[in-house]
Structure 1
Amino acid sequence: MGSGSLLEQIIQYFQTNSGQYWQYVGQHIILTVVTLVISMIIALPLGYIGSRIKPVAQFCVMFAQLLRIIPSLALLFLLIPFIGTGVVPALIALIVLALPPLLINTILGFNEVSPLYKEVGIALGMDQRQLRRQIEIPLALPYILNGIKLALVEIIASATLATYIGAGGLGTLIFTGLGLYDMSYVVIGAVSVAILSLLAMISFDFLIRKVQKHDRTNYSI
Structure 2
Amino acid sequence: MKLKTILVAAAAITLSAGAANAALITTDAGYTGPDLDLTGYDNGSYNFTYGPVAVGEFTFTRSNTTNNSGQGAVVGQGGYGLNANGSFGGDAVYIGLDGPGGFGFLVGPNAYSQIGFFFNYAPGVGDDPTIAALDINGNVLEEYNLATDAPISTPGGFNQFQFRGITRDTADIYGFRFGGSYLLASGTATGDVIGGIPEPTTWALMILGFGSAGAMLRRRRTSCAL
TM-score, with normalisation over the residues of structure 2?
Answer: 0.27
The structure whose residues are more often helix, as a share, is 1
- The structure with the larger Rg is 2
The structure whose residues are more often strand, as a share, is 2
